[in-house]
Amino acid sequence: MREIVLDTETTGFEPSEGHRIVEIGAVELFNHMPTGRTFHQYINPQRDMPVEAFNVHGLAEDFLRNHPVFAQVGQAFLEFIADARLVIHNAAFDIKFLNFELGKAGLAQLDWGRVTDTLALARRRFPGSPASLDALCRRFGVDNSAREKHGALLDSEILAEVYLELIGGRQPDLVLAPAGPRKSGSAQSDADWRPRPRPAPLPPRLTPAEAQAHAAFVAGMGDGAIWKRYS
């Protein structure tokens, strides 16, 4: 199962008030394991940067002016996420902005049916407890020391770790799944897999002195010792 953990940074809270996305970060998971594939893009919002937003993510208007507008990168973003399930913290915020930008660019919008909201997941699992990303990092012992300011790719990487803890760890179903999709015909299917004997036995970890001491101990127990059946 392919999942994309993603985050955005914006100039404000409402696209209807003229606010825009300024950064997208996304991390790919396959069978709940990071693959190493990421998507990261700074975006020119074509407007000023409110000081309140700058204080959150530190992205200045002068810096963003040198990056593409959303319409130039929207298709690449859609190609990266493809049909994967989307994992987002406080998904209503990010989906609202992404669909606004996608619609403005004439691109396909995102369906809510493919979204997992980790904020809602955390609130169901820990009712009444703080459910911010920082609070969940503290709960699960996830290192977020590099998070001096919000950053879409860094926050996606942190959220991926938090998400895996929320669902029970990297392998919640206790299946040793592969880290990436299988190539057709390259290996047996998971259903057909069976453990095989080792080609060569592991070397004994018992030292000769320990074996000798054990033999002397068993000999002292007499002929009726159960150990003698196995020696």
User: Which residues carry out catalysis?
Assistant: 150
What stretches of 43-110 adopt beta strand conformation (E)? 85-88
Nearest C-alpha neighbor of 11 from the set 62, 63, 46 = 46
Residue 61 tokens read as 């208007």
Paired with 115 in beta bridges are 86
Helix 133-140 and helix 152-166, axial crossing angle in degrees, nearest 10: 50
Give the pair of three-digit tokens for residue 214: 């054990």
Helix (H) or strand (E) holding 125: helix 118-125
d(CA 53, CA 209) in angstroms, rounded, equals 70
What length does the chain have? 231
User: Per the structure block, which two tokens stand in for 218?
Assistant: 């068993």
What is the distance between the alpha carbons of residues 5 and 152, in angstroms, rounded to a whole number? 10
Return d(Cα 147, Cα 9) in angstroms, integer: 14
Read off the tokens for 182.
């299988």
- At 38 the three-state DSSP class reads strand
